[in-house]
Amino acid sequence: MGIIDEALKKADDEGQNNNLNKLAKINTEQGVGNKIASPQELSKVRPKQKIAKKSETIKLDWDFISSQGYLTANTERLQMVEEYRTIKRPLLSNAFGTRSKGIERANLILVTSSVPGEGKTFSAINLALSIAQERDKEVLLIDADVAKPSVANALGIENTPGLIEYLESDNMDFSEVIRNTDLDGFRVVPAGDWHSYSTELLASNKMAELASELSQRYSDRIVIFDSPPLLAATQGEVLASLVGQVVLVVEAESTLQATVKETVSKLDNCDVVLALLNKTNRSFNFGSYGYGYGYGYGYGQYGH
């Protein structure tokens, strides 16, 4: 039994009517639907500036990216390709399908976890690549884990200017921090230079305005945020309140049930929460990585 299942069972046994129970009840793909979105205060923030699309295109080193276990066009990790297909399907369906009705900001997806190292960056990049590799799908991947930026490194691109520089600037256009890549439809915003107050910028009005802007102007494409861990600082929670869908990465076999419960309780106000079990040791592994990959679903669909 997986960690989420165990946590759910325990919560059920104890009769706790918390968020985990809600996850349990909607722990199937079929459970998606009949979504009643909660009104989000911040969605009323008015967009201010235009986000341009065009800038220079960066040629990514796909061999390097593939060598770290990411899904490139030529990947041989077919099992993982298939898993990400399964993971992204409900997310895309919520964002663009008929189900999108009623879910606010369904095109904004936050990839988070309880603690560092569970696989947020790994999952966010793979999810973004998997979606971008589909015809006609556009993805913007934003590194919002500004205290531990990793997206730029993983993709072999410059980390600055990035989200931080944009958030602290008065006159920068968001397009100035977007990197276009040679994978059609795959764009990246790195975290930028860390400094002592950079994490606070994630909770700023400007960040809320940006999310609002992205949900409106980018409503035809997916925006994936690589988030800080939820138990390490409050910024992850703030970010979760700005997006329509949350992917909670749980490191299988290592994250404690109590930890998962505490984390899930922080996502109480999120409309859609999908739990992704990472690094499962079940039936498969990927070459030199030595551990496999798995997933689980949990959809919170409830009004508030």
Return residues touching ligand ADP (CB under 6 A).
68-69, 113, 116-122, 150, 278-279, 289, 291, 293
User: Do residues 108 and 144 make contact, with C-beta atoms less than 8 angstroms apart?
Assistant: no
How many residues touch Mg ion (CB under 5 A)?
Answer: 4
In the complex, the smallest distance separating the C-beta of residue 279 from Mg ion, rounded to whole angstroms, is: 14
Contact partner, 119, from Mg ion, ligand ADP, none, Cβ < 5-8 Å per class:
ligand ADP
Q: Is 286 helix (H, G, I), strand (E, B) or coil?
A: coil
Contact partner, 113, from ligand ADP, Mg ion, none, Cβ < 5-8 Å per class:
ligand ADP
In the complex, the smallest distance separating the C-beta of residue 190 from Mg ion, rounded to whole angstroms, is: 12
Residues near 242 by beta carbon (within 8 Å), at least 6 away in sequence: 42, 105, 108, 110, 207, 208, 211, 212
Beta bridge partners of 180: 57, 187
By the rule CB under 5 A, 121 interacts with Mg ion:
yes
User: Do residues 155 and 162 make contact, with C-beta atoms less than 8 angstroms apart?
Assistant: no
In the complex, the smallest distance separating the C-beta of residue 255 from ligand ADP, rounded to whole angstroms, is: 11
CA-based torsion, 170, 173, 179, 184: positive or negative: positive
Using CB under 5 A, pick the residue from 19, 40, 150, 198 that binds Mg ion: 150
Question: What is the rounded (10 degree) CA torsion for 55, 161, 169, 108?
Answer: 70
Closer to Mg ion by CB, 83 or 145: give it: 145
- Find the part of the chain contacting Mg ion (CB under 5 A) among 102-110, 127-135, 138-146, 260-268: 138-146
Angle at which helix 78-96 crosses helix 120-132, to 10 degrees, equals 80
Closer to ligand ADP by CB, 95 or 124: give it: 124
Closer to ligand ADP by CB, 15 or 287: give it: 287
Q: Where are the alpha helices (DSSP H) in 202-255?
A: 205-217, 235-240
User: What is the side-by-side strand order in the sheet with 245-251?
Assistant: 57-58, 179-181, 186-189, 139-143, 222-226, 108-113, 245-251, 272-278
Closer to Mg ion by CB, 114 or 150: give it: 150
Contact partner, 133, from ligand ADP, Mg ion, none, Cβ < 5-8 Å per class:
none
Closer to ligand ADP by CB, 97 or 117: give it: 117
